[in-house]
């Protein structure tokens, strides 16, 4: 954990004020009143702050929860539905109401909004991922404010993001955002649960991997994400070279003005290629390649490509270009990569040198199984 003294925290956060493109995520509990209905005053506060950022020349992408909550009133639901069908029905009714409200509020500032509903498949499959990128790129070129939500009307328990914090982090990387803002019903990250008398607000986190805080406790009843999901989102974003601010939704204007409210998580890595971050955080692996100890060392220490000689086992069914896991013989995840062979072709060549394969089968086998530019090695945990 990194707690900066007050003197180390700048009075204005240039990570926010200097950002060309912002992704802002807001949770359901920050948009609704005690009854679960949309709170128009809260929406107005949010939209006014985002419109100010647009006037300052910043691109803004809004990842907004609230569709299910917005649908509860018209459907006369007194509490958040528990069964999947009711959740989907509530989201279906509420999504149009939510975007309609946003559309009218942004129109006051002469801004147009565009609805973007995503499913896990839209980021887990490379062709869908590229389609989503194309849509965002054109919307932003046209000066539109994209409003993003998970497509809850078709998402299932098994195939979904689970919360919009993770979705926001993935969208931030997809659109090449310069900063991610997570707005919530909590005002910051604390050293312990905020209800604890010893809890202290953490203003600055230099390296999220060094954090040692208590994230137990549930969030508001109307939402789905707690502090743990926000830290997971911050981990994805900062590893992508994107700084993150976690703050209370009612302080959105202060956050976007660069005021030192909430908690700032500094980026811990250089910005990586979209393909690699998709591979690390969004892709769904289609199989596994089991590596011997020499191949593990080659990947982790020498940053080498994976050759057939270092593979001792193949699991699953996949095709050229599919994402696969690279694991040790003990089952430890070593890396993820885009495979250069179909699964049906690998068993006959694993454990053999490329030289021998070319001599026996021809020049078509003079290639690696996973090129080093198409793999991302799992980061080692830092010692404490």
What is the per-residue pLDDT across 257-281, written as a single tens digit (0 to 9) for each?
A: 999 999 999 998 666 666 676 677 7
Instruction: Report which DSSP code applies to 32.
Output: B
Residues 304 and 168 in one domain: no
Structure tokens at 48: 């006014």
In a domain, 45, yes or no: yes
Question: Is the distance from CB of 240 to CB of 172 less than 8 angstroms?
Answer: yes
In a domain, 76, yes or no: yes
pLDDT surpasses 60 at 216:
no
User: Residue 124's pLDDT is what?
Assistant: 62
Task: Name the more confident of 264 and 76.
Answer: 264
Residues 19 and 40 in one domain: yes
Q: Among residues of the chain, what percentage have pLDDT more than 70?
A: 85
User: Residue 148's pLDDT is what?
Assistant: 94
User: Residue 342's pLDDT is what?
Assistant: 93
Structure tokens at 46: 């949010």
In a domain, 383, yes or no: no
Residue 149: which domain range?
6-277
Q: Could you give the angle at the alpha carbon of 167 between the alpha carbons of 272 and 58, nearest 5°? A: 70
User: Residue 4's pLDDT is what?
Assistant: 47
User: Residue 115's pLDDT is what?
Assistant: 94
pLDDT category, 127, cuts 50, 70, 90?
confident
> Mean pLDDT, to the nearest integer, of 312-333?
93
> Mean pLDDT, to the nearest integer, of 136-142?
96
The CA distances from residue 37 to 74, 93, 283, in Å, are 9, 13, 35
Domain end call among 242, 277, 312 = 277
User: Residue 106's pLDDT is what?
Assistant: 98
Instruction: Give the range with max mean pLDDT: 77-86, 191-200, 227-236, 302-311.
Output: 302-311
In a domain, 85, yes or no: yes
Q: How many domains does the chain have?
A: 2
> Mean pLDDT, to the nearest integer, of 314-341?
92
CATH number of 202's domain: 3.40.1160.10
pLDDT surpasses 90 at 308:
yes
Q: What pLDDT digit, counting tens, does each position of 2-46 carry?
A: 444 444 545 789 999 999 999 999 988 888 877 777 889 999 999
Residues 211 and 325 in one domain: no
CATH number of 345's domain: 2.30.130.10
φ, ψ at 377 (rounded to 5°):
-80, 140
The CA distances from residue 36 to 46, 71, 78, 105, 117, in Å, are 18, 9, 8, 20, 22
Task: Name the more confident of 87 and 384.
Answer: 87
> Mean pLDDT, to the nearest integer, of 69-96?
81
User: Residue 1's pLDDT is what?
Assistant: 47
Structure tokens at 76: 């006369």
In a domain, 343, yes or no: yes
Instruction: Give the range with max mean pLDDT: 47-61, 122-136, 368-382.
Output: 47-61
How many helices (H) does the chain have, and how many strands (E)?
A: 12, 15
Residues 66 and 175 in one domain: yes
Q: What pLDDT digit, counting tens, does each position of 174-201 carry?
A: 899 999 999 988 899 988 777 788 888 8
Residues 255 and 365 in one domain: no
Residues 252 and 104 in one domain: yes
Burial 358-369 (b: 16+ CB within 10 A, else e): eeeeeeebeebb
Residues 356 and 244 in one domain: no
Q: Is the dihedral of CA 308, 310, 313, 317 positive or negative?
A: negative
> Mean pLDDT, to the nearest integer, of 329-341?
92
User: Residue 63's pLDDT is what?
Assistant: 95
């Amino acid at each position: 954990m990194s707690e900066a003294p007050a003197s180390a925290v700048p009075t204005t956060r240039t990570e926010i004020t200097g950002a060309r493109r912002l992704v802002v995520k807001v949770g359901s509990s920050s948009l609704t009143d005690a009854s679960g209905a949309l709170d128009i005053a809260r929406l107005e506060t949010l939209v006014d702050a985002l419109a100010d950022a647009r006037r300052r020349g910043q691109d803004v992408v809004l990842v907004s929860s609230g569709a299910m909550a917005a649908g509860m009133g018209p459907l006369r639901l007194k509490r958040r539905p528990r069964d999947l069908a009711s959740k989907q029905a509530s989201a279906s009714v509420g999504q149009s109401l939510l975007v309609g409200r946003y559309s009218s509020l942004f129109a006051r500032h002469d801004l147009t909004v565009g609805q973007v509903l995503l499913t896990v498949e839209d980021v887990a499959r490379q062709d869908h991922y590229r389609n989503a990128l194309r849509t965002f790129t054109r919307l932003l070129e046209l000066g539109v404010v994209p409003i993003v939500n998970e497509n809850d009307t078709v998402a299932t328990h098994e195939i979904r993001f689970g919360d919009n914090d993770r979705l926001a982090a993935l969208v931030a990387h997809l659109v090449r955002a310069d900063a991610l803002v997570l707005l919530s019903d909590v005002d910051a990250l604390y050293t312990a649960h905020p209800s604890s008398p010893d809890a202290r607000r953490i203003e600055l986190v230099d390296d999220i991997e060094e954090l040692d805080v208590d994230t137990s406790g549930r969030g508001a009843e109307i939402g789905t994400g707690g502090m743990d999901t926000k830290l997971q989102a911050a981990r994805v974003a900062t590893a992508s070279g994107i700084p993150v601010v976690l703050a209370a939704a009612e302080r959105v204007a202060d956050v976007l003005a660069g005021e030192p409210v909430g908690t700032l998580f500094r980026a811990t890595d250089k910005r990586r290629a979209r393909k690699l971050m998709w591979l690390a955080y969004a892709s769904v692996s289609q199989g596994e390649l089991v590596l011997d100890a020499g191949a593990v060392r080659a990947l982790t220490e020498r940053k080498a490509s994976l050759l057939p000689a270092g593979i001792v086992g193949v699991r699953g069914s996949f095709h050229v270009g599919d994402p696969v896991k690279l694991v040790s013989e003990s089952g430890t995840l070593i890396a993820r990569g885009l495979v250069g062979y179909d699964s049906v072709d690998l068993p006959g060549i694993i454990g053999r040198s490329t030289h021998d394969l070319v001599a026996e089968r021809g020049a078509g086998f003079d290639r690696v199984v996973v090129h080093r530019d198409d793999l991302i090695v799992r980061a080692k945990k830092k010692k404490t």
